[in-house]
Amino acid sequence: MTAHPTWQAGVYAALKAARVTQIGYVPDAGHAHLIEAAHADPDMQAVVLTTEEEGIALAAGAWLGGQRAALLMQSSGVGNTINMLSLPLNCRMPFLTLVTMRGEWGEFNPWQVPMGAATPGVLKEAGVHVRRADRPEDAPEMVAASAALAFDSQIAVAVLFSQRLIGAKVFVK
pLDDT tens, residue by residue, 41-69: 999 999 999 999 999 999 999 999 999 99
Q: Mean pLDDT for the chain?
A: 92
Distance from C-alpha of 15 to C-alpha of 128, rounded to nearest angstrom? 19
pLDDT at position 3: 44
CATH classification at residue 80: 3.40.50.970
Tell me the per-residue pLDDT of 125-147, one tens digit each, with 9 for 90 and over: 999 999 999 999 999 999 999 99
Banded model confidence at residue 111, pLDDT cuts 50, 70, 90: confident
Residue 1 belongs to some domain of the structure? no
Instruction: Identify the domain containing residue 56 by its residue range.
Output: 6-166
Residue 26 belongs to some domain of the structure? yes
Number of domains the chain is built from: 1
Altogether, the residues listed in the chain come to a count of: 173
Tell me the per-residue pLDDT of 70-88, one tens digit each, with 9 for 90 and over: 999 999 999 999 999 999 9
E strand intervals along the chain? 22-25, 45-48, 69-74, 95-100, 129-133, 156-161
Banded model confidence at residue 6, pLDDT cuts 50, 70, 90: confident
Residue 77 belongs to some domain of the structure? yes
Residue 173 belongs to some domain of the structure? no
